[in-house]
Amino acid sequence: MLITGAGGQLGRALAEEFPEALALTRAEWDVALPAPALLDGPDVILHAAAWTDVDGAEDDPQGAAAVNVGGTANAAELGAPLVYFSTDYVFDGRRREPYVESDGPNPLSVYGRTKLHGEAAANEGSWIVRSAWLFGPTGHNFVRTMLRLGADRDEVAVVDDQCGSPTYVAHLAAATRELLERPPGIWHVAGGGECTWAELAEAIFEGAGIDCRVRRITTAELGRPAPRPAYSVLRSERGGPTLPHWREGLRECLERLGVVPGARG
């Protein structure tokens, strides 16, 4: 078993869940380039390597495509089925009920389009795992950002008109092991429950005991380059693995980070 992108937050979680795997960081294999010659015949590839800078992809669509599409094709060249980790951003967010596997994608952003095209670049017989709003104790993610900002500020402005399914990477990694026992194809695997970014921020501060107010703003007020779906909750109509509620994932993540309630305020 081979893991790509093992230096990222999902890749690290997968390496913990699958200690038997060969876990390669970007320094060991930049997937935008062909695979190193030493990689000969893996049985399955957990393809976590990805361009995840949503706004940066708007400025560098070729760079994003080189990783998310070309990188997937390079992984597929090894001949093994992939577990390709995709995103809720393949949907446009115009509906107000959860998206299931049979719903037609319509990405709004360059990032979403490159991830959708990456799905098509995976080998036949691969697992396409769409998840959402990933967070964990390592890497760049919303939870770690809020903890840093909340420690320095009395108030943070957070978007309250985007709703999704926050997903703890350790829960997604554990579900991946279960998925490997199921038929390939598209699977939606995301944290239970749903919330807005502002609601998630408030839960982070509450769980960490940080005295920081959340000022709820609109996506338009934030003014980010890449459009995001207003509603992108994911659920499985195929009987996919059920992940714990996002609040449980947040609690476990804060514990891993060693966050002590009452440290400030």
Cα–Cα distance measured from residue 262 to residue 223, given in angstroms and rounded to the nearest whole number: 33
Active-site residue (options: 99, 111, 168, 231): 111
Q: Which residues, other chains included, contact 64 with Cβ-Cβ below 8 Å and sequence gap of 6+?
A: 51, 53, 56, 57, 110, 111, 114
Spatial neighbors of 19 by CB under 8 A, at least 6 apart, are none
In the residue annotation, 111 being an active-site residue is answered as yes
Residue 135 to residue 145: CA distance in whole angstroms: 10
Residues in CB range of 248: below 8 A, 6 or more apart: 168, 192
- Check if the beta carbon of residue 225 is closer than 8 Å to that of residue 54: no
- Residues with catalytic roles: 111
